[in-house]
Structure 1
């Protein structure tokens, strides 16, 4: 891997994350014109899951596949997606409803008929377990496993039937037979392969251990190099052992996945899990940043796996910029979900999520007569636990009819976190412009307590329009923005820039006829 030559190229990378555009086949479109992986001709084109779906954990359960992702401060969280063909996915349920902190890199597994989710968190730093007898729940309340110094638990069952959690840093701890507590103390069992010190990486950071048993071997797949930072940093390495207790030997081809050029479509590729396809083929799911679009967060990627005669494996998808033949034998379902919402029901968890809510926030949102009623909280999006969506396209538009109560302020936002967001809101007298996570201009509002509002994000260029006649005519708002820097390498937090709604001040805001269209 020619990593040493990239130092000069990285120093020339613009602060926004933009680089030379990468030509790619035209993606197929689904709900609301959103891009989808399945090309409809027996091939698919990454991303598998567009938008922020990081740290994928995948479970093969007979002919069904289930997958979930890090959901950080969004609640309800840990949305479980279902597939029969590994390419097309639909959301089923949100397994985590109690706010236990920022969720990082969970592990979904099934053991002796019961489903388990092992859930590491920050603030507080520990790991939890929740369980269910059916994938759709009900899921249990979280149980604290009291692991304050590690993240990214990976579940494994040894040749002797013992249960383990492999952890960051090459460590592990034994689990009780019921999987709901730990036994003994954390032990160090694996020294990960180390890259040359001339490579541009964020840091060593061995994390995301995933153990797969195939034949006589246990395969341990790990991420090193840091999760973000330089696009060439995050990578996938592997080791194997005939016993869950080691010793572990390094893959002779390490790293088996790594971005090596700034011209590649996908950057910072890592955190991989092996999974068998419906036709007996093998695949790997992992995440990566899209070239020039750190704002979309880490998107899930699918890479074909080939087993070699010596019992090792390799990824064969290259830089994942081209279409790949789908696995055979699976049953395709329609991928994704519409983001457009008539608010006939409240899709809280599977579509909408609160940002960093308290237990009381769930009662703030309800639907009535085709409207979302959102009680006011705080003074602005920064302290108001807004409702957010995951949008996975590089350009899109969303609009909504908004009506405020006396003393209320409401609007539409693009939200990274409580200190970095933009958008437009209004009260009965004035608009309020949100930019850089602060409230800025307050021009007069001639439309009063109700208007239709539209936000367009066209490849980082943001514009706002308002309408006082239900969208028949539009007036462009005199404030435009550029948001390519609203991402992790500027702010931290590993999040994405998400469209959403907020209600602040006093009273209850009514949102009707929410429409989303990818452009």
Structure 2
């Protein structure tokens, strides 16, 4: 059986691609660097992160981009002996404009170096590339209408102005021919995330609708001609949990169809797993996979006979799930950042951290404040479980209160908790807690233990335990006694899409990791010898 989600934690907008016996899924990374996560599997059950292809300035520079901008909804495909990756770099979120620029990069190998990007257009986000069987290529994306007065009203969500289609010329690396709006979406509204495929002379179009929260859905349509007109699926939706609040996988939508070599059918989709009592999905939007069947009417349906996704679905014959370790230990040996970790926005990580200046350690160069949109020294990995423990050890010698470094549970600049070493005029070197529990009313930091707690010289171990909606920090001086709880129990549930201003206000996921900032501008160093993450 396939156990959903197949990619736990922040892994939204899954685009799936099969090449022979190999399956690849590309997911959105938003402001996290390098851009786009690509996982690989040969059995649809066991998945391994193999590449983040957007890794240099020519491909991606997100410095200054607001929270939840950056890489939206990539599309991965294979044709003409190479992989094609289409992606959006969104430069603005709030207000009427998005400034969404679409690009294509290519590579003969997933694990290899990817090309510099070819610019495509900026008319909207969620692009995809379809390779027709006559050799022509077609580029589709949703169209953004900035004249909308907002969300809601009649017609619903007019900013989402249909799916545009235009031919892509791979030789000139440019769009050619007329632009046509091929699909307005269903009455649910907010049509986006288009993916095209062809079967038995039909062009099938799946889109995401309803927004990316609890009304989300995969809508399906088809046409005998690629540019329409498209008729709706008899059920309108292929996958959705919007009318089933009891379903384990909520927020189901935005995915892509794939066929196995022996003709079995599957469809990816994003989803969320809410925690009571506030229905906040603290693991972000995750990736799941559903088994599908074709019926005599030549429409695709979920194999379970409903539109509601299952947690367990039939996998391929002989697929055996591998046992995942409950603990991950990172010692920062080898001079390379472990694959689980990312940083924020900048293509110049050498200004944020080093794994060679002090071998066996992650050295952070404290830069701008935690939550900065430009240069933030924060290295973190995804939260993948509702209950976990994370710990690290820090060596840090601040000489001003403007220098702060430690351990953080992080979503964005308005949704974070952090336990850190700093300096206080009266307490000396001390521990402080910084907390920002959402962007209402004004997104200000709070300091749950006031000025802080004095600590001795030397290495300090920091940890956190998250149990569903609760977070507790701990500390100990290395070699000097047991772990001590510090500060009150904090709201871990706010580190989620639904925290702060709500699920349509941000779209990423919870991370846990190490940070350092120095608002004096002197780039004080902080060394971390190890980091571990335990599922509880």
Give the TM bin, normalised by the shorter chain: 0.7 to 0.9
Q: 1:79 to 1:245 in 2, by over 3 A?
A: same
Where in structure 2 are the equivalents of 1:360-371 lying within 5 Å? 361=350, 364-367=353-356, 368-371=358-361
Alignment match, 2:211? 226
Q: Paired residue for 1:283, among 252, 266, 291?
A: 266
Alignment match, 1:56? 14
Q: 1:62 to 1:321 in 2, by over 3 A?
A: closer
| Residues 416-463 of structure 1: CA deviation (Å, up to 9, x unaligned) | 112221111012512221111625232132223520111111102000
Q: Paired residue for 2:282, among 277, 285, 295?
A: 295
Per-residue deviation at 1:294?
A: 1.7
CA distance in 1, matches of 2:112, 2:282: 32
Q: 1:333 to 1:475 in 2, by over 3 A?
A: closer
Alignment match, 2:465? 456
Q: 1:178 to 1:111 in 2, by over 3 A?
A: farther
Alignment match, 1:21? none
Give the match's secondary structure for 1:287: strand
Unaligned 5+ runs, structure 1: 1-42, 196-203
Give the match's secondary structure for 1:344: coil
Per-residue deviation at 1:361?
A: 4.8
Q: Paired residue for 2:109, among 103, 109, 134?
A: 134
Contact 1:65–1:82 (Cα < 8 Å) also in 2 = yes
CA distance in 1, matches of 2:35, 2:360: 25
Alignment match, 2:430? 430
Number of matched residues?
A: 465
1:400 aligns with 2:392: yes
Q: Paired residue for 1:240, among 215, 218, 222?
A: 222
Alignment match, 1:14? none
Where in structure 2 are the equivalents of 1:22-171 lying within 5 Å? 43-97=1-55, 98=57, 99-101=60-62, 102-123=70-91, 124-145=99-120, 147-168=121-142, 169-171=162-164
Contact 2:352–2:366 (Cα < 8 Å) also in 1 = no
Give the match's secondary structure for 1:463: strand
Per-residue deviation at 1:349?
A: 7.8
Q: 1:337 to 1:444 in 2, by over 3 A?
A: closer
Alignment match, 1:31? none
1:359 aligns with 2:348: yes
1:415 aligns with 2:410: yes
Per-residue deviation at 1:108?
A: 0.7
Give the match's secondary structure for 2:404: strand
Contact 2:395–2:459 (Cα < 8 Å) also in 1 = yes
The alignment yields a C-alpha RMSD, in angstroms, of: 2.4
Per-residue deviation at 1:517?
A: 0.2
Alignment match, 2:497? 488
Give the match's secondary structure for 1:175: strand
Larger helix percent = 1
Q: Paired residue for 2:525, among 486, 492, 508?
A: 508
Per-residue deviation at 1:86?
A: 1.1
Q: 1:378 to 1:193 in 2, by over 3 A?
A: closer
Contact 1:402–1:512 (Cα < 8 Å) also in 2 = yes
Alignment match, 2:153? none
Contact 2:410–2:511 (Cα < 8 Å) also in 1 = yes
Per-residue deviation at 1:262?
A: 1.9
Per-residue deviation at 1:115?
A: 1.1
Contact 2:13–2:269 (Cα < 8 Å) also in 1 = yes
| Residues 216-236 of structure 1: CA deviation (Å, up to 9, x unaligned) | 2221111111112xx2x1111
Contact 1:88–1:336 (Cα < 8 Å) also in 2 = no
CA distance in 2, matches of 1:336, 1:54: 23
CA distance in 2, matches of 1:480, 1:194: 44
Q: 1:326 to 1:248 in 2, by over 3 A?
A: same
Contact 2:405–2:421 (Cα < 8 Å) also in 1 = yes
Contact 1:172–1:189 (Cα < 8 Å) also in 2 = yes
Contact 1:83–1:332 (Cα < 8 Å) also in 2 = no
Per-residue deviation at 1:515?
A: 1.1
Alignment match, 1:210? 195
Per-residue deviation at 1:357?
A: 2.5
Per-residue deviation at 1:352?
A: 1.0
1:180 aligns with 2:165: no
1:377 aligns with 2:377: no
Per-residue deviation at 1:406?
A: 4.1
CA distance in 1, matches of 2:395, 2:451: 18
CA distance in 1, matches of 2:512, 2:409: 5
Unaligned 5+ runs, structure 2: 63-69, 92-98, 143-161, 424-428, 437-443
CA distance in 2, matches of 1:393, 1:272: 23
Per-residue deviation at 1:334?
A: 6.7
What is the TM-score with the length of structure 2 in the denominator? 0.81
Alignment match, 1:19? none
Per-residue deviation at 1:284?
A: 0.6
Contact 1:452–1:471 (Cα < 8 Å) also in 2 = no
What is the TM-score with the length of structure 1 in the denominator? 0.84
CA distance in 2, matches of 1:88, 1:290: 20
Contact 1:287–1:301 (Cα < 8 Å) also in 2 = yes
Contact 1:89–1:334 (Cα < 8 Å) also in 2 = no
CA distance in 1, matches of 2:173, 2:451: 53
CA distance in 1, matches of 2:336, 2:314: 33
Give the match's secondary structure for 1:77: coil
Q: 1:320 to 1:205 in 2, by over 3 A?
A: closer
Contact 1:159–1:243 (Cα < 8 Å) also in 2 = no
Per-residue deviation at 1:471?
A: 8.0
